[in-house]
Amino acid sequence: MKKNEIPQNVLLKAQEWLSGQYDADTKAAVQRLLEKEDPAELTDAFYRELEFGTGGLRGIMGVGSNRMNIYTVGAATQGLSNYLKKAFAHLPQIKVAIGHDCRNNSRLFAETAANIFSANGILVYLFESLRPTPELSFAIRELGLQSGVILTASHNPKEYNGYKAYWDDGSQIVEPHDVNIIAEVGKVKVEAIRFEGNDSLILPLGAEMDEKYLEKVVSVSLSPEAIQRQHDLKIVYTPIHGTGVRLVPMALKRMGFTNIIPIPEQNVVSGDFPTVVSPNPEEPAALALALQKARETDADLVMATDPDADRIGIAIKDDKGEFILVNGNQTVLIFLYYIITKRKAMGWLTGKEYVVKTIVTSELVAEIAAKNQVEYYDCYTGFKFIADVIRENEGKKIYIGGGEESFGFLPADFVRDKDAVTSCALMAEIAAWAKDNKLTLYEMLQDIYLTYGYSKERMKYIVRQGKTGAEEIEQMMVKFRSNPPASLGGSPLEWVKDYATLIQKNLLTGEEIPIRQKTTSNVLQFFTVDGFKVSVRPSGTEPKIKFYIEVKAKLTSRDQFDQVEQQANEKVDSVMKDLIV
């Protein structure tokens, strides 16, 4: 891109920042962008406003309307304040909570938000230091607040930060509130942001809330006797420099585990994430140090959490004694299999229980639920949609678990977002229960496949940065809608589900059936006659288009596992070639 090709809206927005009520450092940084020979960075910084996606406001830190800085955080907070004052005008005092993770500028952004809320007459409970995202959700419910915000970019690289907004039930904001808040944010001019806080309306949150949260965490235990017998299970845990550093080990100890092995280098709280390229427990490299420690200590289980401790990654020993990473789908399967198996044995399945998964998560969840007469729900990607299902069923049905393939699970509804602190505590118990029953977690996973069918999942994504990247991703979606593949992995295509139109169509018969979802979404799903599934969607929080692939196979004995897995991997490779990705 050349200077004379800079879009007019970008130049106008940059000029607004140069002439508006922005601080001197910000104006100087904008001027430097304008003077650069290559205007790509300027264009990306100003070509749009940051918007709420599946994970809220998220972007690269820096100056500009498309960046995370005190002004975009300020506009979001002022807009949210304006909306809260309309939505809860009947209350004598509106109250919110604010938390933050370990990222660079997270504390600054949290304090900025606290000042703005308080300047608008809203009472703020500000966590005294970094805390896990699920604890923020819990605190909203525990204190009876109207909203909350946590400053985090979850598992994104260090250049990113984010702003997740929550409603009064502790869940991330969904329609109509998210749309209404965006409308309010869009009206906010920089001069209307009330940056000067009211200290009398900002109260600290700390150890007392930790205690209440941890009490609930340990209440999920279903096999305390197994933990007593297997209390010295060797558990390697890493917070990957993030917020799990205190509460996850505390939760494990309170559950009764006595042999928790840390990774000292990754217990260092740092927004630079010095030991990893990406602090994402989905990435094998992020667990490299933990796996090394596990081999050295002959550990039973490896667990990791992302910087805001809402995602859990685990590694277990296979039948050869080698550590393997468990993918997000398998993690959900292990959790739900255990919860349903234990509740069934204890007589705790009454017919009112239900589980939830996202549409891109393994269809084996539906199989496990159906064979145990447990109701299950499908929802869009993002835990705010799982929380929405819980909200709809409040007081009528019993939530016993829900998850998504991207390493998120929620074992209990006292939190309304994915919860890696509680998930780590429960996963450790599952490992203890399996060992108590003369099983490894690997054998337990194989038993799930033997009982409910085998599936192999893989996710591939394509990254396209900036304005041109967003346009390219949209063109990919247009192409798949207008010209879906005739077959995938040698299996003819049977059904296409288009969540943009909420219609699923049978390509073999022409039959069309409505899809039951409250809202539309830019997602396509392809189902073949052999039960293969491919989901295609642009990410709501990152410059990516994602492909979720699931193939099925028959497994009749543990001895066949390696062979069946190899065949399934070959099928996945074949599907990926058919997608030309």
In sequence order, which residues have a C-beta less than 8 Å from that of residue 10 and are 6 or more positions away? 39, 42, 43, 46, 47
Spatial CA neighbour of 561 closest among 569, 573, 549: 569
Residue pair 378/357 in contact by the 8 Å Cβ criterion: yes
41 vs 29: CA distance, rounded Å = 12
Dig out the tokens for 296 from the structure: 């050295």
Contacts of 136 (CB under 8 A, 6+ apart): 97, 98, 99, 127, 148, 149, 150, 166
Work out whether strand 533-538 and strand 160-166 pair parallel, antiparallel, or are unpaired: unpaired
Instruction: Kindly state the tokens that stand for 498.
Output: 């288009």
Rounded to an integer, what distance in angstroms lies between the CA atom of residue 527 and that of residue 487? Answer: 9
C-alpha neighbours within 13 Å on the C-beta side of residue 576: 18
* Integer CA distances (angstroms), 456 to 303, 327, 531, in order: 22, 10, 12
| Residue 368 CB-density burial (10 A; 0-12 exposed, 13-18 middle, 19+ buried) | buried
| Of the candidates 547, 558, 557, 541, the residue with the CA atom closest to the CA atom of residue 524 | 547
Q: Helices 441-452 and 420-436 sit at what angle, rounded to 10 degrees? A: 90
Cβ atoms < 10 Å from Cβ of 509:
9
Nearby residues of 486 by Cβ (< 8 Å), 6 or more positions away: 492, 493
Q: Are 130 and 100 within 8 A, CB to CB?
A: yes
Q: How many residues are listed for the chain in this entry?
A: 581
3-class DSSP state of 383: helix
Residues carrying an active site annotation: 154
CB crowding 46-66: b at 16 or more within 10 Å, else e = bbbbbebbbbbbbbbbbbbbb
